[in-house]
Structure 1
Amino acid sequence: MATEPKEQVGHPLDPLTPDEIELAGDLLTSTSEFTDGARIVKIELDEPSKDAITAHEEHGREIERQAFAVIRDSPERKTYEATVSLEAEEISSVEHIEGAQPSIAIEEFIECEQTVKAHEEWQAALEDRGVVDTERAMVDPWSVGYDFIPEHIDRDRRLAHGLTYVRPSADDGDEGYAKPVTGLHVYVDLDEMSVVEVVDNGPPDEDHPLPPEEMAYREADIDLRDDLKPYDVVQPDGPSFDVSGHRVEWQNWEFRVGWTQREGLVLHNVGYNDDGEFRKILHRASLAEMSVPYGTPDQNDRFKNAMDAGEYNIGRMAKSLEKRCDCLGYMHYFDAVMNTMDGAVNVLPNAICMHEEDYGLLWERSDWRTESAESRRNRRLVVSFIAAVGNYDYGFYWYFYQDGSVQVQVRLTGIDNVSAAPKNKDVKGYSELVAPQLKAPIHQHFFNFRLDFDIDGTENNVYEVENQTVPSGPQGFSPHADPSAETPNPGGNAFYAEERQLESEQEAQRLINPLDGRYWKVTNPTETNRLDNEVGYRIEPHENVKAAQQDDSSVIRRSGFVKNHLWVTPHDENEMFPAGDYPNQAEGPAGLPVWTEADRDLTDEDLVVWYTLGKNHVTRPEDWPVLPVQMANLKLTPDNFFGQSEALDVPPEHVINEGHTVPSRDEFDDETPESRGEAADDD
């Protein structure tokens, strides 16, 4: 049994420490509640309720520290949720979740591949395609969804759908995505780790079963450019942010950094210090779910719809960020403390990177009469993590700006999902060739962000704002006439921004409309600024895309949140994930489409905004073999939250740099990583 946790916990929302996970793991693995073959999918903080956090922060009320765990008892084929009291060192509750399949764990990925590679029918299928050394193969376990499981296989089994690729050698460092074994599908029971069925549709081209080319993108395999000069970010006095445990302060911003295995980075208690007063904006913000549906009707690809948060736990897929590559400048890192399936501690170092970044011009004013000029540079705080999910890599970035705005950005990169194509055949439309005999299907990426707003409190409203044109009137264009009820727009130029309150859940299911300048804003009707306007924040859509799937498709039924860009619900502690708690192998519908059928009232309520950020991906050869970053963005900007621009007091560069000189390249090379701040990852 583990001893009492030693690491100091500074706040009830701090993620579990290694000692706490070790304690919870010991309790869960030693209990008689589960069989010896039970596996712990995840152990993480059992987050206190919103009311409990408020009582703690306003009245100092203590909160019991608890862990939440999901257990898959494989011999019993049952899924359980358990709560562990870390103070009493005991399991508080255990509940069987009927019919639920937890997300697929990394250990299951590894074991699934080993199971498939040991299977004779799979080996024979590779040999039929000319692959004698089957150790060169790799198998990616995909979630099976629901509808595309072969009809005679029991859907209650815990399953994975294995897709095969062939590496150039048996070296574990080689990737095989350039040579997909298209047509070969293996269904694996993850509870008993056995192959249930091998389905071989045959290769698209019997004479040329594998694409001819390998892939090369690593430094040692490429003739690199030799004309790029060093670019270094130097902060001789260190960063402008301050970190205390998981609490961050920067340029009037204040928030807490959290982590879950399902969501990855979570931000808590996001607010702004305005003339000494902390003003809350967001109680909790995170990536809540993803959906990546592929658009080809090909039987070998049409099943693909990865829900990477709910089906795989995208936090478990996070990578340890490399210094001076994923981030530049003076960096602060947060580790992610997780667990293995046997309950042991698994610490991912440097999972979250935080640094400052120059972002060009913040504001400028030049007056030709007075010959005066003022300008300020825009600096932003970046908090990010990167997850590698099979072939794709996703970077998630939260940017905080000096004007009081917040930006959410997803960067998509990695390797396109590909299939083999027949030689000399046009595949345009549903797919595009990215290399000879190698096609990448059209697909979409949807990211749903859960934004629990608290604009100066929990009594909030949401409005839709968009441009409205004004008819000229019966006289038409009449530039010298006075406006009247009959002729409201005599000059033909008038338009205005119409605000319409979204008063119910059904009314608040909305799509973007950039042609009319549509945005949404969350306001607090009980708080006003110095102009007597309700304080609020805008939700400003950037590029987005409409879901292209049919309403009766498996995609829409299982991940229906993709149908709308905006959803709004009253706050409910049990409504955390837009496709439901357990989307893996779930038939659907669940989550947002089901909750909002109640059409609950949204007036003067504690509101949660769910924003679906979409990216359309029509593939091209320039995406191969590694996709240059594509970006998807959402921005939150203050709207009457302040009385004037928050960027006025940002000092110009000559004031910031007074007394400092930029070091030469030679001086910089003499510095140590520690002196550049690269080791500043203590919490």
Structure 2
Amino acid sequence: MKSLHIALGISLTLIAACVPEKHQADLTSTLSPWHSLTAEEILEVAAAVTESVDGTLVFNRMSLLEPDKSQALSWQTDTNAARGADVLYRLDKLSYRVRYDFQTSELSPPALLTSGQPMLVGQELYTALELVNELPEVREVLERRGVSSGDGLCLPRTVGRFFSDLADPINDRLVRFDCFNIRGQSGMGILPTTSAFARPIEGISILFDVEELRLIEITDSFVGVEAPPSDFEVIEFHPSALDTRERLKPITISQNEGRNFSITGSQVDWQNWRFHLRFDPRQGTILNNIGFITERGFRSVAYEIAMSEMVVPYQDPDIHWFYRAYFDMGEYGFGNMATELKGNDCPANAVYQDVMLHSAAGEPVVAPNRICIFEFDPGYPSWRHYESLYEGVPGIEKHNARRATNLVVRMVAVIGNYDYFQDYIFQQDGRVRIRLISTGIDATKGVFAAKLSDPTADAETQTGTLIAPYRLGVNHDHFFSYRIDMDVDGVENNFERQRLTAVPQPENADRQAIWAVTREKVENEQQARTTMRVEKPALLTFSSASVTNKMGYPASYQLMFPNIRPLVTLQDPIYQRAGFLKNNLWVTRYKRDEIFSTGIAVNQSAPGVGLPLYAADNESVKNADLVAWPTIGFHHVPMAEDWPVMPAKVDEIVLKPRNFFDRNPALDVPD
């Protein structure tokens, strides 16, 4: 069936071809504590876990066990690092977590997970997808809507803890399918349309258990009555279907003398920056032991940087939409859903890396070209000054500027209709940008209205925008929660809010409007919770407890990111599962197990787990090993320009040195 062929392409992301230049780690040398699991390690831990249980299990997540931090920081490159695996699996409708030590070959006793389930994996989703799309009951519903066999495609969505009246959301493994008309418009209809999401067949939902392969319920809200149209011409966006503007003269990117970064095992070195890079099935790209090399030697900035979770709640109470709030990282896996990078995903000078993932059976799977690393010119100088006072004075360079070059580590995850670029950008001036770029296709709801003057339009556009005839772009949010283990010049740090406040002036003063900086010391995790307000600006800084710059200021890094908060009550069941949204920023003491802001098991998870629990003990944050948890994102009110594919939207966090250096660290960049 055509629908199953396209579904195969959507569901399985681990098949790809090669691209020109590649750099893989040399696995004949010793592995760092932060190197991703190797194929040999995956096979070893899978065998140990399989032998320890009776029955057939599903490996949902096999990741590098967070190393003991003190041991990892003392690791020497010519020695074998202590390494372990963190494994989540399903067996007999229950979820378990085990840990494996590669040095001792010891497997921990299985811990039963009760607050939620591990993420869904490709085998679970595709098996269910194939079965549901072949069910006679589903075909009958689609044919009733005028969608012929092969032109309908139903896709699974996670459901949270809803539908307790129909199933057990704690132990059953549930998804809800919605359907699309993928009839092709060219090649005599043999090939499907470019976008599987262009024609929603509104009002059909299919609740299904992916573990028992059991159909629970089919809901059709338009039985015996007219339904919104689902068969109309769509705007194709593949090159051969478009009349394009005049072709641009090419802008060539080349590095004839070679690249300026080096990769040794998991370590990357570039322009005084040094860090380790790994790839995780859940989190995607992770940076470790990030630091800047100066005349003092290697100076740490952060121990770990990675996305911790993301949630996309839709704002429509309709019975086919109310449950839609996707915790994409914990439910599907950012790394598992990463796609091959090719074409315009990365510039011509990029170097590509394969990554190692695993199957549901615990077999290692090489996923080609999931990471690219490249240098680029941002188009503005790193610094510049023209000294007009010396105009006409011979022998003095009046104009000074230095060309900027940045280093980017990139991956792209495709989760349903959305494409997410995750970039880590290193600058020569000591800044690190954590950039999340959203593009892809808006999730649309099928409606009767083709334009705002239609009689149904007013009622149908209460929860979104008519972005194309018969399609409503539903309002929704994107929230991205990051975890940044700050180690500014050492493990012991302090968190401070530097408030910018107006200073009262004497009545007869020449100036009545002066502001100053007030340093607000933060003592504990409760005080560290930060809700940003535009009328109360503050610099959020993490400083070394022991190192100062030449002027005596604590060596610090400032955390900069825009304000984004939920607009609705956090008592809603969806937001109760995303407790990190209560604050723009949390700061906690480092604990080895506190990695995910929504907890270890997110699929169909309970409320209140994750960050609210981590901070509940209200530990001191003075002279301590601190972890920052900032949230970025945006409220998405769809628009016509989003269709048929969205322009890229950029959100980012900036780590900016603040008195970390004695001068501009890019001063020595050559002309």
TM-score (norm 1): 0.88
Q: 2: distance between equivalents of 1:203 and 1:263?
A: 42
Taking the aligned partners of 1:173 and 1:124, their CA distance within structure 2 comes to: 22
| In the alignment, structure 1 residue 186 sits paired with structure 2 residue 167 | no
Q: Against the structure 1 CA distance between its residues 346 and 421, is the aligned structure 2 distance closer, same or farther, given a 3 Å change threshold?
A: same
169, 173, 178: which one aligns with 1:158: 173
More off after superposition, 334-343 vs 41-50: 41-50
Distance 1:593 1:95 in 2: 22
Q: Secondary structure at the match of 2:259?
A: coil
Counterpart of 1:502 in structure 2 is 522
Instruction: Measure how far apart 1:275 and its partner are.
Output: 1.2
Pick aligned residue for 1:551 from 570, 579, 582: 570
Deviations 1:463-506 (A, max 9, x none): 11232012233x25x42xxxxxxxxxxx1131112221222222
Match for 1:419 among 414, 426, 445? 445
How do 1:376-455 and structure 2 match up within 5 A? 376-423=402-449, 424=454, 425-426=456-457, 427-455=460-488
Q: Is the 8 A contact 2:30 2:79 kept in 1?
A: no
CA shift, 1:54, in A, is 2.7
- Cα distance 1:204–1:521, how it changes in 2: closer, same or farther (>3 A)? farther
> What per-residue deviation string (whole Å, max 9, x for no partner) do you get for residues 413-445 of structure 1?
000011101233323342001110100111110
Partner of 1:44: 63
2:489 is the alignment partner of 1:463:
no
Question: CA contact under 8 A between 1:451 and 1:608: conserved in structure 2?
Answer: yes
Q: 1:99 to 1:603 in 2, by over 3 A?
A: closer
Query: For the Cα contact (< 8 Å) 2:461–2:472, is it kept in 1?
Result: no
- Structure 2 counterpart of 1:577: 596
Partner of 1:83: 99
Residue in 2 aligned with 1:71?
A: 89
Deviations 1:525-578 (A, max 9, x none): 311111011111001123x32212212102220011122110000001111111
1:605 CA drift (Å): 0.9
CA deviations over 1:394-414 (Å, ceiling 9, x no partner): 001111001101111110000
TM-aligned CA distance change 1:247 to 1:6, over 3 Å: closer
Give the secondary-structure state (helix, strand or coil) at the position aligned to 1:185.
Answer: strand
Assess, with a 3 A threshold, how the Cα gap between structure 1 residues 81 and 8 changes in structure 2: closer, same or farther: farther
Equivalent in the alignment of 1:370: 390
User: What letter is aligned with 1:457?
Assistant: G
* Structure 2 counterparts to residues 657-676 of structure 1, below 5 A: none
Asked if structure 1 preserves the Cα contact closer than 8 Å seen for 2:166 and 2:216, the reply is: no
Question: Which of 254, 265, 272 is 1:252 aligned to?
Answer: 272
Cα deviations across residues 96-144 of structure 1 (Å, max 9, x unaligned)? 33464111111222112112112222222212211132x2222221111
**Equivalent AA in structure 1 for residue 37 of structure 2:** L
Choose from 288, 313, 316 the match for 1:296.
316
> Deviation at 1:197?
1.5
After TM superposition, list the pairs within 5 Å mapping 1:306-345 onto structure 2: 306-323=326-343, 325-345=344-364
Which residue type is aligned with residue 18 of structure 1?
A
Shift of 1:198: 1.3
Say which is worse superposed, 604-613 or 341-350, in terms of deviation. Answer: 341-350
Aligned match of 1:21 in 7, 26, 42?
42
Residue identity matched to 1:56: W
Quick one: distance in 2 between partners of 1:92 and 1:583? 22
User: What SS class does the counterpart of residue 122 from structure 1 fall into?
Assistant: helix
Would the alpha carbon gap of residues 151 and 249 (structure 1) be closer, same or farther in structure 2, given more than 3 Å must change?
A: same
Deviation at 1:88, TM superposition (A): 5.3
Distance 1:239 1:6 in 2: 22
Residues 1:6 and 1:447: Cα distance change in structure 2 (over 3 Å) = closer
Q: For residues 66 and 470 of structure 1, do their structure 2 counterparts lie closer, same or farther at Cα, with a shift above 3 Å needed? A: closer
Unpaired runs of 5+ in structure 2? 1-25, 185-189, 392-397
- 1:64-110 deviations in Å (ceiling 9; x for gaps): 3322222111xx11222233344555645433334641111112221
Give 1:212 shift. 2.6
Unaligned residue ranges in structure 1 (runs of 5+): 480-490, 653-683
Give 1:334 shift.
2.3
Provide closer, same or farther for how the CA distance between residues 507 and 202 of structure 1 changes in structure 2, counting only shifts above 3 A: farther
CA distance, structure 2, for counterparts of residue 518 and residue 584 of structure 1 = 36
Amino acid at match of 1:154: D
2: CA distance, partners of 1:223 / 1:22? 50
Whole-Å Cα distance in 1 between the matches of residues 224 and 445 of structure 2? Answer: 9
Alpha-carbon offset, residue 224 of structure 1: 1.9
Q: Quick one: which amino acid aligns to residue 13 of structure 1?
A: W
- The separation in 2 between residues aligned to 1:149 and 1:90, in whole angstroms, is 40
Aligned to 1:563: 582
Does residue 114 in structure 1 map to residue 114 in structure 2? no
- Distance change >3 Å, CA 615–CA 208, structure 1 → 2: closer
Q: What one-letter code is carried by the residue in structure 2 that aligns with 1:15?
A: S
Given the alignment, which residue of 521, 545, 548 partners 1:528? 548
Q: What is the alpha-carbon distance in structure 2 between the residues aligned to residue 645 and residue 288 of structure 1?
A: 32
Identity %: 29
Provide, for residues 208-238 of structure 1, a one-character-per-residue CA deviation record: whole Å limited to 9, x for no partner: 4426332411112111222311111111111
Q: Are 1:175 and 2:173 counterparts?
A: no
How many angstroms does 1:269 deviate by?
0.2
Whole-Å separation in 2 of the counterparts to 1:252 and 1:117: 54
Counterpart position of 1:493: 513
Alpha-carbon contact 1:38-1:71 (below 8 Å) kept: yes
Note the C-alpha offset of 1:57. 4.4
* Residue identity opposite 1:252 in structure 2: N
What is the DSSP-based 3-state SS (H/G/I as helix, E as strand, rest coil) of the residue aligned with 2:615?
helix
Q: TM-score, normalised by structure 2?
A: 0.89
**1:212 and 1:437 in contact (8 A); partners too:** no
Partner residue, 1:219: 239
Query: For this pair of structures, how many residues does the alignment match?
Result: 626
Q: Is the 8 A contact 1:335 1:348 kept in 2?
A: yes
- Residue 668 of structure 1 corresponds to none
- Displacement of 1:176 after TM fit? 2.5
SS at match of 1:314: coil
Distance 2:191 2:57 in 1: 33
Aligned CA distance change for structure 1 residues 301 and 588 (closer, same or farther; 3 Å): same
The answer for the alignment partner of 2:663 in structure 1 is 644
SS in 1 for 2:110: strand
Shift of 1:296: 2.1
- Structure 2 SS opposite 1:598: coil
Q: Deviations over 1:610-647 (max 9, x none)?
A: 00012121100100010010111111100111111111
Q: Helix, strand or coil: the match of 2:356?
A: strand
> Structure 1 residues 564 and 99 mapped into 2: Cα distance closer, same or farther (>3 Å)?
closer
| Secondary structure of 1:53's aligned partner | helix
Match of 1:201 in 2: 221
In the alignment, the residues of structure 2 paired with residue 103 and residue 194 of structure 1 have an alpha-carbon distance, to the nearest angstrom, of 19
Answer yes or no: is 1:235 the counterpart of 2:255: yes
* Aligned AA (2:125): F
